[in-house]
Amino acid sequence: MNFSTTAVLSGKSITDDADVARDAIRTHEVVRLSPTQTPDDLRSYYDALVEAIGTPVNIAEDYATGGAPTGERWSEIRYRSDIPDMAAFRHSKNAQPLHTDESYVSTSAGVMLFYCEAAAPAGGETTFISGARLVEFMAESEPELLERLRTIPVRFQKADDFKDRPILQTADDGSVDLNFNFFCLGADPTPEAEKLNQDFHDFLETRLPSELILPVGLAPGEGVTWRDDLVLHGRNAFQAEQTGDRTIWKTGLILPAA
C-alpha cells in the first residue's frame, strides 16, 4: 500500500466524490480530501460522503465521563478556551503525541476521517508516519525496542472498552498493524508493559527523525482519512485564543469489501 495521496473531489457530486475517495483509501494509508468547491453545508456533505464510501461508525466520546461513547457519529475536536490544555487533547492547542485512535476500541472501524470546519491561525497540522517506514527505521536504530513492541502485550483502555495485545503485529498480508496510545494505558499494567509504553513514547518524542513525519494541514472544507492500524498520527501545536479557532470533526468508517 502507498503512503499518501490527495483525492481531488468536486464538492458537489456525492457519488463521484465517494468513488474517487474510496479508490484512494483502498490503496493509500493517508488520503487528503480536497474539494475544488467548498460545500455550502459541510456536515450534510460529509454525512452523505461517508455513507456513500462505506459504513460510518458512531465514535463520539464524552471526555467529561472518561471517554464514554455518546452514540453520535461525529466527534468534536474543537479548541475550547474554558478547558485546561491537559484535560483533553481534543479541546487543547498542545501538540499531541503520535498514537492510534482505536488503541482501546475492541471493534475497530479501521479508517478514520477528519473534516475541517475552522483552521487554526497557525499550526495544528495532523502528523503521520507510515508504520512500514517506522519499522524499517527501528530495525536499524532500535532493534531491542522493536522486538519488545512485537512481543510484550500492552492493555490500552478507555471507559469500559479495551485491547490487550502487542503494540506491533504483522498482518496476514505482511503489513504492519499498530496499536498505541501512551495516555490510555490500562489500570495495573505489568512492569514490562508500563516500561514499554514509556520507552516507546520517549522514542517517538525524542529520537524519531522529523523527516519521517508527514504534516497535513487542512483548509476549511478539506478532509483527511487514514488507516488507523497502518500509521501513527499526532498533531502539531497551534495558535488559538477563542473557542472554535480550530474545529475538526472526526468519524470512523468501514470500507465495503473490494
CB-CB contact of 167 with 153 (8 Å): no
Alpha-carbon distance 151 to 190, whole Å? 13
> Residue length, the chain?
258
CB-CB contact of 116 with 219 (8 Å): yes
Digits of tens for pLDDT over the chain (258 positions)? 999 999 999 999 999 999 999 999 999 999 999 999 999 999 999 999 999 999 999 988 777 766 778 889 999 999 999 888 777 788 899 999 999 999 999 988 999 999 999 999 999 999 999 999 999 999 999 999 999 999 999 999 998 899 999 999 987 788 899 999 999 999 999 999 999 999 999 999 999 999 999 999 999 999 999 999 999 999 999 999 999 999 999 999 999 988
Domains, the chain, in order of start with CATH, read 2-130+215-254 (3.60.130.10), 141-206 (no CATH)
Per the DSSP assignment, residues forming a β-bridge with 155 are 164
Please give the DSSP secondary-structure letter assigned to residue 82.
T
Q: How many CB atoms lie within 10 A of CB 70?
A: 15
CA dihedral 9, 13, 16, 17 (to 10 degrees): 30
Cα 174–chain centre separation: 21
CB-CB contact of 31 with 4 (8 Å): yes
Alpha-carbon distance 106 to 127, whole Å? 24
Dihedral sign computed on CA atoms, order 178, 181, 187, 192: positive
